[in-house]
Amino acid sequence: MQKHKKTLALLAILSLVVTNGFYSSLVNIANAGSLTSAKDTISNSNVSASATHVIKFTTKTALIAGDEIQANFAGGFTNVLAVNTTCTGAAFAGGTLPAANTVNCAAAGVIATNTVLTITVTGVVNPGTAGSQIISLNSKHTGFGSPAIDRADVMVAIISNVAVSAYVPSSLLFTISPVATGTNVNNGVTTSMSATTSLAFGTLTVGTSSIMAQQLAVTTNAGYGYTVTVEQNQDLTSNSGAIIDSFKDGTPTRSVWSAPLGTLDATTTYGHMGFTSDDATLQANFAAGEYDGFIGTTPEEVMYHTGPADGSTQNKGLAKVAYRIQISALQEAGDYYNTLTYVATPTY
């Protein structure tokens, strides 16, 4: 009888030990808390894109050295690598890869409750299909099979990019305006007022230069700007065929204005006409007081800009072009005419 009592007592003790051990494991699992303020900020949510995940959360239960924080990328993520993993917010021993698509951060010391931690994983390739995906987080003691201490699931939405399109129509407005008498254009002062469609110099005075100008305005949304050129159909020519040649003395030259030489029997020296521009952004700028002569009917650049223009800002949509004539006493009598043509060319 005594022997049976001892046997029953021993069985009761063994039963209590086993029961207590099993119950303890259940408590560890059932009492796993939630990591709080958990979120995953993804840099690119496009299907199959390579993205950086910044996973941030707050601990609920304090951790000790050797405890682990893990993030599991399920649902088709690939290229989840320990070498691309950074753990911040506390002292960590580094990132490892304990299982496929799972990164691990091991605590190097005590991590207190309510500590904000961040796991950053770069180069993760998104799933090839759109949909919401779960990244599971948990803290646990050392060892992949250990039960969770705290856990949380965060989600990201994998979606196809949205293609946005819009159309902006091209625009161009080019206007010519008169310039009043007494206006300074590149160190030359106009002697008469111009009109929008004409430059009526009137009667020329020997030995005195005459200057008229026009204001040009370009308004455009051309991304690469514009060029404005002017060309003549001929040199100033009279009904009898006499010519007021191009500055200077019939040989087109860019230089500070000078009077025609007026050499007898050298008809190209009897009088000349030149032009200048106050646009400082020309590809070949006019220096102060410089003029140039037309080379036959070749277009000459008088305005230039490399971007959109508003038609009201000097050098970026606004400029004045001046024309200057001077004759010597040898210039043949007559009425002289030619035609000027402006061409505005935007580049979109």
Q: How far is CA 282 from CA 138, 227, 237, in A?
A: 67, 9, 29
Which pLDDT tens digit goes with each residue over 226-238? 999 999 999 999 9
> Closest Cα partner for 213 from 278, 139, 296, 149?
278
Q: How is domain 172-346 classified at the CATH fold level?
A: Immunoglobulin-like (2.60.40)
Residue 11 in this model has a pLDDT that exceeds 90? no
3-state helix, strand, coil in the chain (%, to 5): 10, 45, 45
Rounded-to-integer distance, Cα 335 and Cα 233, Å: 16
Residue 241: how many other CB atoms lie within 10 Å: 8
The residue with tokens 């796991």 is: 119
Mind giving me the DSSP string for 158-219?
A: EBPPPP--------EEEEEEE--TT-EETTEE-SS---SS-----S--TT--EEEEEEEEEE
- In sequence order, which residues have a C-beta less than 8 Å from that of residue 345 and are 6 or more positions away? 226, 227, 228, 229
Rounded-to-integer distance, Cα 187 and Cα 322, Å: 10
Q: What is the pLDDT of residue 118?
A: 95
| φ and ψ of 61, to 5 deg | -115, 135
Rounded-to-integer distance, Cα 301 and Cα 253, Å: 15
Please state which of the four CATH numbers 1.10.486.10, 3.30.360.10, 3.40.30.10, 2.60.40.1290 is assigned to the domain occupying 33-158. 2.60.40.1290
> Closest Cα partner for 249 from 222, 270, 221?
270
Residue 126 in this model has a pLDDT that exceeds 60? yes
Which pLDDT tens digit goes with each residue over 310-336? 999 999 999 999 999 999 999 999 999
pTM over 0.85: no
Mind giving me the DSSP string for 296-324?
A: TT--EEEEEESS-EESSSBTTTEEEEEEE
- In sequence order, which residues have a C-beta less than 8 Å from that of residue 210 and are 6 or more positions away? 191, 192, 201, 202, 204, 324, 325, 326
Question: What does the block give as tokens for 116?
Answer: 């904000």
Is residue 8 classed as helix, strand or coil in its secondary structure? helix
Which pLDDT tens digit goes with each residue over 15-54? 333 333 322 222 333 345 689 999 999 999 999 999 999 9
Dihedral of alpha carbons 111, 116, 119, 120, sign: negative
- For the chain, give every residue range classified as CATH 2.60.40.1290: 33-158
